[in-house]
Amino acid sequence: MGVGIEVSNLNAWYSTNHTLQDINLHIPANQATALIGPSGCGKSTFVRCINRMHETNPIAKVTGTVRIGDIDVYKDASPVEIRRRIGMVFQRPNPFPTMSIYDNVASGLRLNGFRNRRVLDEVVERSLIQAALFEEVKNDLKKKSGASLSGGQQQRLCIARALAVDPEVLLMDEPASALDPVSTAKIEDLIFQLKSQYTIVIVTHNMQQAARVAERTGFFLNGRLVEFDSTHKIFTNPGDKRTEDYITGRFG
């Protein structure tokens, strides 16, 4: 099951650029939460702070607190453990090109020391089923590379790879922006199915997508969280004029 995310006084920098400023919010467990806002407003930096990917940049800095359930992300666990508990799916599919479909899904497990073939087989199949990909690739698991799949299939393969290590949170940074409408619909269907088991945070420029898949939505602008509320309220009766201006296309 997923866990809630509690963010308190989060600030982030790239060198002297103060990218995120005093972010405070609670992301509920087992729901999809969408983050919207214009390019460069801090959405992607925010999700990278949640699973400690922001700090992989040598000029990056983070202050504040991020809690996943009872765990303080920056104090109570190593980055490796945090990234196991918090999966990440990026804008462009990034399967390991020299690995088979099977080995792509199993890679995280093997990195964590799993060697039992029966267990690996079970987890790979389960993860591909969860990602709605198994029926399309079951005859080619060890014959074809992950890079041989279509763009939409590659993205679902990356989702399967993230699910294989049994995370509690799944971060999705514009997971459908590079995909065609049919593949996008499959990713959105997946989000509906997966949020009963995981807490999902999705960054999207597609406001219709946010309205379709998310229970709650946050609007970022210039590194600040302007508004965070139920998706219905954000899109029908926002509390801040800047949110309304963005949603109605007056800026951004």
End-to-end CA distance of the chain, in Å? 36
- For residue range 179-231, list pLDDT tens digits in order: 888 888 888 999 988 998 999 999 998 899 999 999 999 999 999 999 999 99
User: Domain of 227?
Assistant: 5-97+166-247
CB 36 within 8 A of CB 218: yes
- Taking residues 151-159, what's their average pLDDT? 93
48 part of a folded domain: yes
Per-residue pLDDT at 2 exceeds 80: no
Q: Is 15 part of a structural domain of the chain? A: yes
Residue 28 has what DSSP assignment?
Answer: P
Please indicate, yes or no, if residue 74 is contained in any of the structural domains. yes
**pTM score, whole prediction:** 0.91
What backbone phi and psi angles, to 5 degrees, belong to 61? -145, 145
For residue 252, the model assigns a pLDDT of 54
Residue 132 lies in a domain: no
CATH for 26: 3.40.50.300
Q: Which amino acid makes up residue 94?
A: N
Separation CA 151–CA 216 (nearest Å): 28
Q: Is 15 exposed, middle or buried (0-12, 13-18, 19+ CB in 10 A)?
A: exposed
Asked, for residue 205, whether it belongs to a domain, the answer is yes
- ∠ at Cα 201 (6, 104), nearest 5°? 120
| Residue 128 falls inside a structural domain | no
- Number of structural domains the chain divides into: 1
